[in-house]
Amino acid sequence: MSVVDITSTKGESAINSSNLTQRGNGSTVVESKKGPSSNLKAIDTFGNEFKVPDYTIKQILSAIPKHCYERSLVRSLGYVARDITMMCLIGYVGQKVIPMVEISGQEGLSSTIRGGLWCVYSYLLGLFGFGLWILAHECGHGAFSDYQNVNDVVGWILHSYLIVPYFSWKFSHSKHHKATGHLTKDMVFIPYTKEEFVEKSGVSKVSEVMEDSPIWSLMVLIFQQLGGLQLYLATNATGQKYPGYSKIAKSHYAPASPVFDKEHYWYIILSDIGIITTITVVYQWYKNFGFFNMFVNWFMPWLWVNHWLVFVTFLQHTDPTMPHYRDNEWTFARGAAATIDRNFGFIGQHIFHDIIETHVLHHYVSRIPFYNAREATDAIRKVMGEHYRYEGESMWYSLWKCMRMCQYVDDADTDAKGVLMYRNVNGAGPVKPIN
């Protein structure tokens, strides 16, 4: 058995008839297995029929025009320069204009307006900050340019500035792409099974679980959006369990974490050095320019980046119509299709670099740069047909809907054993919990 890089097109084409397993050291290997069942159907949370895809990776890759794979270092660096320039421009204008806002004789009102403008200021910086995060994410996939050393330098600098350990994220995120939608091998946003949900709730069956109140759902949602990323990085929350390891031992900051392979050890340390460097710079920023300057120019935008990252990735992999698979029915083609494209308007296309609108394609071929992803998406939709997943409703509504409707997955009410669909105890959707 040999280790396979499925982020390359060669690896992707080879994975259709194979099974991913984890060695003791965490490395990914491919073993042959009995093929999955065909013509499977399940029932989603809305009560609609879900047909499991049966097309192959070869069909997907053959549909993509060859020029979509072409990467331009100059063009990619141009987007980095654009986003940094916009952040500098926002900073220059904001620092000049906002302190000058004054309503004669209304100091309290003036302070309130200035406070609101500083919030808008930090929000705008956070938008382009997340744009930079996405470009660093392209570096980790090798989609930034043909030169991986350049990709890693640029990605390490950008992710470190945003307190994301570049190589740690790169390695765990690669494993996520290799096993997307796999219930026991995916790396993030892994849902509870019915049994795990019941155990977590401390009851004997689903019918005994009390309905979550909307207020409780809102509190969980706020915590997820503001602290979810850091909790994931620090403890591998929503990732695989790795029995025998403490939460800290599973951290993305721990060189010996089971999340990584042994040969990743010094790369994880390099990631940690990047984080420590940024924290040191931010502390010096605070000492030399004051807390408020650091707060509105770095800390608040950083919180926005945390929010956008969880907001986007959660909604890319969670939906009441979305399946998850046990090992017996999972294939790379099915897992990649267990993602969904959404629409975030001007911001999504022009600031977030189409990461929301072309994510299905990204899971089939992660080395295609974002500026070629729309054309490639149009090409694979012809192969995917009804299996291509898109939702054009407000993403804010989708966020609330998914929080209320997607609490655990189960396959007890379907003949497609191994194909698990979302269920909930809130009575959200026509399909009721299975006791």
Q: Across all residues in the chain, what is the average pLDDT?
A: 90
Q: State the SS3 of the chain.
A: CCECCCCCHHHHHHCCCEEEEECCCCCEEEEECCCCCCCCEEECCCCCEEECCCCCHHHHHHHCCHHHHCCCHHHHHHHHHHHHHHHHHHHHHHHHHHHHCCCCCCHHHHHHHHHHHHHHHHHHHHHHHHHHHHHHHHHHHCCCCCCHHHHHHHHHHHHHHCCCCHHHHHHHHHHHHHCCCECCCCCCCCCCEHHHHHHHHCCCCHHHCCCCCHHHHHHHHHHHHHHHHHHHHHHCCCCCCCCCCCCHHHCCCCCCCCCCCHHHHHHHHHHHHHHHHHHHHHHHHHHHHCHHHHHHHHHHHHHHHHHHHHHHHHHHHCCCCCEEECCCCCCHHHHHHCCCEECCHHHHHHHCCCCCCCHHHHHHCCCCCHHHHHHHHHHHHHHHHHHCCEECCCHHHHHHHHHHHCCEEECCCCCCCCEEEEECCCCCCCCCCCC
Q: What pLDDT, on the 0 to 100 scale, is given for residue 9?
A: 39
Asked whether residue 8 is assigned to any structural domain, the reply reads no
Structure tokens at 363: 């899971």
Predicted local confidence at residue 415, as pLDDT: 74
Has residue 125 been placed in a domain?
Answer: yes
Q: Over the stretch 247-260, which tens digit does the pLDDT of each residue have?
A: 999 999 999 999 99
pLDDT at 197 over 50: yes
| pLDDT of the residue at 23 | 34
Residue 332, in any domain of the structure:
yes
pLDDT on residue 34: 60
In the predicted model, what is the mean pLDDT of residues 213-238? 91
Residue 143 pLDDT class (50, 70, 90 cuts): very high
Mean pLDDT for 140-150 is: 97
Please give the share of the chain, as a percent, with pLDDT higher than 90: 81
pLDDT tens-digit readout, 298-330: 999 999 999 999 999 999 999 999 999 999 999
pLDDT, residue 158, reads: 98
- How far apart CA 431 and CA 194 sit, in angstroms, is 14
Residue range 185-190: average pLDDT?
A: 94
Residue 105 within any structural domain of the chain: yes
User: What confidence tier does 87 reach under pLDDT thresholds 50, 70, 90?
Assistant: very high
> Between residues 362 and 433, which one has the greater pLDDT?
362
The percent of residues above 70 in pLDDT, for the chain, comes to 92
Q: Give pLDDT tens digits for 50-83.
A: 999 999 999 999 999 999 999 999 999 999 999 9
Query: What is the reported pLDDT for 203?
Result: 84
> What is the reported pLDDT for 211?
82
pLDDT on residue 433:
78
Q: Does residue 21 register a pLDDT over 90?
A: no
Instruction: State how many domains the chain has.
Output: 1
What's the domain range around 225? 41-423
Structure tokens at 377: 């998406």
pLDDT band at residue 25 under the 50/70/90 scheme: very low
Closest to 71 (Cα-Cα) out of 152, 157, 147? 147
Question: Does 17 fall in a domain?
Answer: no
Query: Is 184's pLDDT higher than 80?
Result: yes
Convert the pLDDT of each residue in 358-410 to its tens digit: 999 999 999 999 999 999 999 999 999 999 999 999 999 999 999 999 999 99
Does residue 5 sit within a domain? no
Inform me whether the pLDDT recorded for 108 exceeds 90. Answer: no
Q: Does residue 22 fall inside a structural domain?
A: no
Question: Would 137 be classed as within a structural domain?
Answer: yes
What local confidence, expressed as pLDDT, does residue 24 receive? Answer: 34
